[in-house]
Structure 1
Amino acid sequence: MSDDRQFGPSGDRCQVERVLSVEHLESLADAWNALAQRDPQARIFQSHTWLCTWLRYHHCDRMEILVARRGDRLTAVLPLCAHTRGFGPLSLRVLRFAADNDSDYCDALSDPEYPQDLGALWTALRERADWHTLDLRYVPERGYTTRLLPAGDAGILVDRQRHDIAPYMDLSKDWRETLPKRQRDSILRRTRRLRERGAVSFEVATHPESVGEMLAQMAKIHVARWQARGQTSMFCFEEYRAWLQALCLRLLPTQQLYLCRLALDDDPVSIGLYFLDGRRLPGYISTFAANYADLGPGHILETMVIDDVRARGLAEIDDFGRGGEEYKLRWAQEANVLDRFLIARKTAAGVPAFWWTARIQPLLWRYHHLGTLAREARRRVALRRL
């Protein structure tokens, strides 16, 4: 669906187009991938494969992906989804990045030869009256979104918050040299204890059958671990399992999938899902069997992943993904800052929504146990609806 308008001075204009269906999005694969190749800040979470697969398996009220094009060439992408909150006259239309809760980094895509075209997408979005608020989460501190919003717009409210961090580790040096001695010795000692129990193997999935097998084992172990804590694993949801499998199978032939398993006598000890994103290795999900918990199997798996990736020259950065959990910080040397942008129209509906999301929600999120309870309540309600 075209916006039927062009933006920019005469002779230097782009056309803005709205993408409202997965079928339309599928048709843009080649142009989207070419843009991602040109964009030095592009991540796998803004890739055509990631978003198109996610949108096929997840619900949002409406896709609202905006693209700028010059002929057949895409020059900017703002991948949004519309969500309705509330009912009837009290309902709000909120725009968020597509797949934000299942992505570590969210942002736009921009062609370095036409950086102004991203601004045209904001202009087109700002001129529309069919949204109340924008809730843009997990934006890198120096991402495009940070430069997207013009200053001095009297018709909107804007709030920028530090939302999360994403720790990472430089793989140029051996982890045996960079980890603190106590941590390193503990991992080596536990690895020896694991090997004393039987035959230890480490395998990376290389064909569809092994992908399906490892994901099924991961789901079983993950569900059991979360149930033991009285919580609901995302693997309890069929659409999540189906999406993850479809995603992995699409990434496998492009050599962007790194799904691995640590086993003892063919019994899964720990399984990890990573991606190969340029020279980065984003860690997405890992889990381990409870009967090996005393050995710290997640850390043993991480050492084997790092050794394999370094030996094969697959990545230079081990990215642990968003979240400042203590186990990540044991490994990481630095962290990327992730921001949240809240934008609301100065209307009777937009202003109260802005103050709720910008001021009250962050107070609740400071208390981790409250967030955990809220997440668990949402998941249990969703399970009852299945």
Structure 2
Amino acid sequence: MPGDWHSKPRGSSHAPEDAAQMRLSVASRCSPTAVENGKRPARPGVVTSVYHPDEPAGILCQIGLNILPGSANLIPMSTSRETVPSMPARQTIFCDGTSRARHMPPSPEYLLTQVTDEQALDTLREQWPALATQHRYPSAFLTHQWLDAAWQWQSPDTRLRLVTARPGDRLIAACPFVARRRHRYGITFRALEFLSVPDTQECDILCIRDHESDFASSLADLLVTGLTDWDLISLNLLREDAYALQILPDVLTKAGLHTSIDKVASNPSVPLNSSWQDYYRTRSRRLKKGNNLIANRLQRKYQDIQIRHFRPGTDDKDTIHRCVEQLTDLSASSWKGRDTQNTFDQPGPRRFLKRLMQRMPEINGLSIWLLELDSTPVASELQLSHEGTISALRSDFRQELGKDSPGTYLNWKLLERMFDTDNQVYRMGPGSNAYKARWSVQDLPLYRLTVFNNTLAGRSIRLMETRIKPVLRKLRQTTDRSSLS
């Protein structure tokens, strides 16, 4: 692979040539300091990218002192282009022609990679654990295993746009993004969002702490001048201590992008650092009375009541296969089967569950709970455990047995068993309702960071979200108060 490199200073105003020629796929990795005879090396204020269309792993962007283009077909129209004679004709150098980063202070040299397919995602498997363990907080939903499974769910019109950063060979940051078309307020726009599924409980951009500030500046540059085919970025399910929430907003605002932060949900949770007796003593009399009525009803109606616990990777494959089929059947027979397309018998969720069963045993993080009444599975809960946190992914029960409350009984009994483990907290999943409120002790707030691009669609959505919609909301509230009085 060639190591030579030629760069132009910023400010060139030549328009790019044929757009079809701009649609190259993958960058060839070259040293930014390599200099061929008489050619100038990269220096502050000069950004250079070498693109190679035959590599299978994604889109790479080699950085000098400022991070800019992520893909040839994403570079602004002020870009200049030059073919390097010493390289094969298919290799082309692109230099950004804008001037916004001229006075930026030097930042570490990063290699940005845009991962766009499953094969390239799999190449990150070995390096991902080191990145995840050095992130601000541990989370099962930021592991490679979870994201790999989540990608299996996605619809065909969703494109993988996972951006990684490396100074050399070390993976120091990853933005698990997907791109899709959205429609809102009669506007069709291009959105970047986290790679997630309805069972995801939290998201974030992963970054090693020592690189947080530098990578934020580099990502802002990329979004403004390199990765430009987006109108809105919606980063949902962010914890209060999330990197994307704590670091990005100020940096993106300074880069000229408009942002907004909204609280979108909370994740009810139960601390497990006491005894079950001490915890249950704090629950309401109404809850305890209801539990006793359910237990008495089940004991009168059924002769055999069993709660079974399975762990993929520990139990034998035949047992887990049978358990997955029972889980799928319960999911399809629950209320979700009537009101949503998220049950495990659907193609996307089924692919997700299959990959989850394959990958999660690598970190011993998956468990399945089943309630059987007279040897018939009637309720289930799928759980994820990681670094002392148990996350309830989903609970299902047979709709026709709703009057017997099998789901409530299972949740009561498995929560009791959680207190006998080494885990610190049990999270019930985003969303508040009366049932969760009876059990939960504290709520983990979750936020959404929205970033508006300066495109026509981006400005239109921002106008609706930040100006027109709040005014309409106030008018509605005023009208409602007037009607009540």
* Same fold, judged at TM 0.5 (above): yes
Q: How does 1:283-294 map to 2 (within 5 A)?
A: 283-294=392-403
Q: How does 1:181-196 map to 2 (within 5 A)?
A: 181-196=285-300
1:72 is paired with a residue whose SS is coil
Q: Compare the two structures and name the one with the higher helix fraction.
A: 1
- The letter for the 2-side match of 1:348 is L
Give me the whole-angstrom Cα distance separating, in 2, the residues matched to 1:42 and 1:260. 24
Q: For this pair of structures, how many residues does the alignment match?
A: 359
2:173 is the alignment partner of 1:69: no
Match of 1:201 among 306, 312, 324: 306
- Tell me if structure 2 keeps the 8 A contact 1:226–1:233: no
Q: How does 1:1-386 map to 2 (within 5 A)?
A: 1-6=59-64, 12-59=108-155, 60-85=157-182, 91-99=188-196, 101-119=198-216, 120-128=218-226, 129-146=228-245, 147-150=247-250, 152-153=253-254, 155-173=256-274, 174=276, 175-196=279-300, 197-206=302-311, 207=315, 208-226=317-335, 231-235=339-343, 236-313=345-422, 315-356=423-464
Q: Deviations over 1:314-360 (max 9, x none)?
A: x2101011111222111111111111122112232211123345577
Give me the whole-angstrom Cα distance separating, in 2, the residues matched to 1:233 and 1:226. 11
- The letter for the 2-side match of 1:202 is I
- The letter for the 1-side match of 2:249 is L
Give TM-score, length-normalised by structure 2.
0.68
Give TM-score, length-normalised by structure 1.
0.84
Give me the whole-angstrom Cα distance separating, in 1, the residues matched to 2:64 and 2:147. 26
Q: CA deviation at 1:107?
A: 0.8
- Tell me if structure 1 keeps the 8 A contact 2:330–2:378: no
Mark the CA change 1:133 to 1:11 in structure 2 (over 3 Å): closer, same or farther: closer
Q: Deviations over 1:248-269 (max 9, x none)?
A: 2321343100111011121112
2:420 is paired with a residue whose SS is helix
Q: CA deviation at 1:124?
A: 2.0
Mark the CA change 1:276 to 1:133 in structure 2 (over 3 Å): closer, same or farther: same
- The letter for the 1-side match of 2:290 is S
Mark the CA change 1:252 to 1:193 in structure 2 (over 3 Å): closer, same or farther: farther
- The letter for the 1-side match of 2:223 is L
Ranges in structure 1 where 5+ consecutive residues have no aligned partner = 365-386
Which residue of the partner structure matches residue 41 of structure 2?
A: none
Give me the whole-angstrom Cα distance separating, in 1, the residues matched to 2:341 and 2:335. 6
1:234 is paired with a residue whose SS is coil
- Tell me if structure 2 keeps the 8 A contact 1:342–1:357: no
Mark the CA change 1:7 to 1:326 in structure 2 (over 3 Å): closer, same or farther: farther
